[in-house]
Amino acid sequence: MPAMLRNLAQRLGMMAHSFDGGIHPSDHKLGAGLHSEPCPLSPVHILPMKMHIGEACLPLVAVGDRVLRGQKIARSEGYVSVPVHAPTSGRVVRIEEYAIPHPSGMGMPSIIIESDGDDASDDSLEPITDWRNTDPALLRERARMCGLAGLGGAVFPTFIKLVQDSRFPIETVVLNGIECEPWLTTDHRLMLEYADEILTGLAIIMHMVNTDSAIIAIEDNKSDAAEAIEQALALRDDLEGARVVLLPTRYPQGSEKQLIYSLTGREVPAGKLPMHIGMLCQNVATARALYRAVVRAEPLTERLVTVSGDAMPRPANLHVRIGTPMRYVFAQQGLTDFEDVRILHGGPMMGELLRHPDVPVVKSTNGMLAMLEASFMGGHTQEQACIRCGHCSEACPAGLVPNLLADQCRSDQFEKAESYDLFDCIECGACSYVCPSNIPLVHYFRYGKGQIAQQRREKSFAEASRLRSEAREMRIERENQARAARRSSVRKTHAPAAESTAKTDAAGDSAADKTDEGSKD
């Protein structure tokens, strides 16, 4: 349907709102029917000092220290940061750089813990069972202390969003159970198995931001999850204002801004956050983690991970301790040979391709996919010329013109790309997916964004250097003037005496000269 007609129909209330663009990739949700199970305890855990968006942490433990499960082992530096906790009891064996799941393949300072097998917990944190009568600021501190970060994949520190700001009061909390990425089934399983924990988490969020309205958004390919949530909701009397909304399945509906538009017809302006239009979006897994942090006093040391992919002998949904090496998790499900296998961290649309499985599971790991080399490379045939078909613009959920942006990024016309709103791109990959010429559009955007960020960094460094150098010149100038002033004032006060000393000096000098000459002779 033409966009204008659809807009009109939506305005008149004849049609549900729905974000522009989007695609329908086949969903491959192999793990949807598999009950979640705990992953055995790994003998080693690797805890990178940064598993969230923001500043890295500083280690609090030293090599040789004994730690307990849930013990804080690294403290946060700066505001946008959350601490790191030991996932099990054991001994710190090394603190060194270790590879993390990152497209660069680079490492990050990490604490490496050898488990002792006891899995003893640190019980110093008190549960807050009466959270309804607890100051939201205390709960917020609890969320920070327990290391909560958005478990949907963006890992933005949760406590920052859970705030009552008088300028931007939150009207509606959106609980995101969309999980639109193909293959991934963690949120699906959580909603089926832990509906009540998720709803308590939601109630805590609503108490913290002081609102009584909430929407639990679920896609219609997970109607069983929606039913489970509805049933759990019916048994509770404290969530009157919460309702379940079943949305038609479309990728990338789980993206915050697109989801809010689908639910309310309101757009989050570019460069703004949902809170600026009175919305707060949290993932179902984060809500459950918040429940466990508050009511059970459990820091974030474990998360549900979809282990799947077409090269996976036994797909599963595993509760994996954070820091468990991926190779160990894959081995539990029967995958030990990584020849001709590509590993993805996250889903196939937005996930990162990993170079090897020797990286730890981190807070953002919602999925680990092992894909066959052949099926993986099927989508990456040779890049052809753009034929201006416009499919990418139609698929773009952010209303951008991907083919144009890709041209600009490829040829380093970054100002132009920025003026065409490159930074509004959410890197969902819908454009690359539909491109008949196999242009790696999102890859170009990532290149462009990286180059622009680099230029900005260089510029601000140059500016800071310029200021420092100017300040230095001014200081030298000032010092010279002060010295000159001192000299002249000394001359003035000691004028007659100075003259006589000057004379004697001169006399002495000539005498010295003479003696020098004499000695030379």
Partner 1 sequence: MTGLLYALLSLGTFALLAGIVLAVAQKVFHVEGDPMVDKIDALLPQTQCGQCGYPGCKPYATAVASEGEEVNHCVPGGERTMLAIADLMGVEPKAVEQEAAAPMLAFVREDECIGCTLCIKACPVDAIIGAPKQYHTVLADHCTGCELCVEPCPVDCIDMLVKPELIEHWSWPLPETRRSRLGHERREHHAGHA
Stretch that binds partner 1, among 257-265, 289-297, 377-385, 497-505 (CB under 8 A): 377-385
Q: How far is the CB of 403 from partner 1 (least distance, A)?
A: 13
Stretch that binds partner 1, among 38-46, 180-188, 247-255, 442-450 (CB under 8 A): 442-450
Judged by CB under 8 A, the chain residues 411 through 430 that form the site for partner 1 are 411-413
- What order do you get walking across the sheet with 72-75 strand by strand? 58-59, 72-75, 84-85
Stretch that binds partner 1, among 75-83, 188-196, 207-215, 455-463 (CB under 8 A): 455-463
Q: Pick the binder of partner 1 from 5, 235, 374, 453 (CB under 8 A).
A: 453
Judged by CB under 8 A, the chain residues 87 through 106 that form the site for partner 1 are 100, 102-104, 106
When the beta carbons of 378 and 450 are compared against partner 1, the nearer one is: 450
Q: How far is the CB of 48 from partner 1 (least distance, A)?
A: 10
The CA distance from 333 to 441, in Å, is 34
When the beta carbons of 10 and 451 are compared against partner 1, the nearer one is: 451
Best CA proximity match to 158, nearest among 283, 298, 296: 283
Cis omega (within 30 of 0) for bond into 25: no
Question: Does 332 sit near partner 1 (CB under 8 A)?
Answer: no
The CA distance from 441 to 452, in Å, is 17
Q: How far is the CB of 58 from partner 1 (least distance, A)?
A: 16
- Say which residues have a Cβ less than 8 Å from residue 117's Cβ, sequence separation at least 6: 41
Q: Pick the binder of partner 1 from 463, 477, 509, 516 (CB under 8 A).
A: 463
By DSSP bridging, strand 66-67 and strand 213-219 are unpaired
The CA distance from 262 to 264, in Å, is 6
The CA distance from 187 to 181, in Å, is 11
Stretch that binds partner 1, among 114-122, 268-276, 376-384, 479-487 (CB under 8 A): 376-384
- SS3 (DSSP) at 16: coil
Q: Pick the binder of partner 1 from 243, 457, 483, 494 (CB under 8 A).
A: 457
The CA distance from 23 to 392, in Å, is 10
Question: Does 471 sit near partner 1 (CB under 8 A)?
Answer: yes
By DSSP bridging, strand 352-354 and strand 341-345 are antiparallel
Structure token pair of residue 432: 């690359």
Beta bridge partners of 99: 107
DSSP label of 59: E
Question: Does 460 sit near partner 1 (CB under 8 A)?
Answer: no
Q: Pick the binder of partner 1 from 40, 107, 127, 278 (CB under 8 A).
A: 107
The CA distance from 60 to 365, in Å, is 24
Q: Pick the binder of partner 1 from 450, 507, 514, 516 (CB under 8 A).
A: 450
Stretch that binds partner 1, among 25-33, 36-44, 84-92, 451-459 (CB under 8 A): 451-459
Query: Residues binding partner 1: what is the number (CB under 8 A)?
Result: 39
Name the H helices within 147-269: 158-161, 186-193, 195-209, 223-234, 256-264
Q: How far is the CB of 81 from partner 1 (least distance, A)?
A: 13
Task: List residues near partner 1 by CB under 8 A.
Answer: 100, 102-104, 106-108, 382-385, 407, 410-413, 439-440, 443-444, 446-447, 449-451, 453-454, 457-458, 461-466, 468-469, 471-472
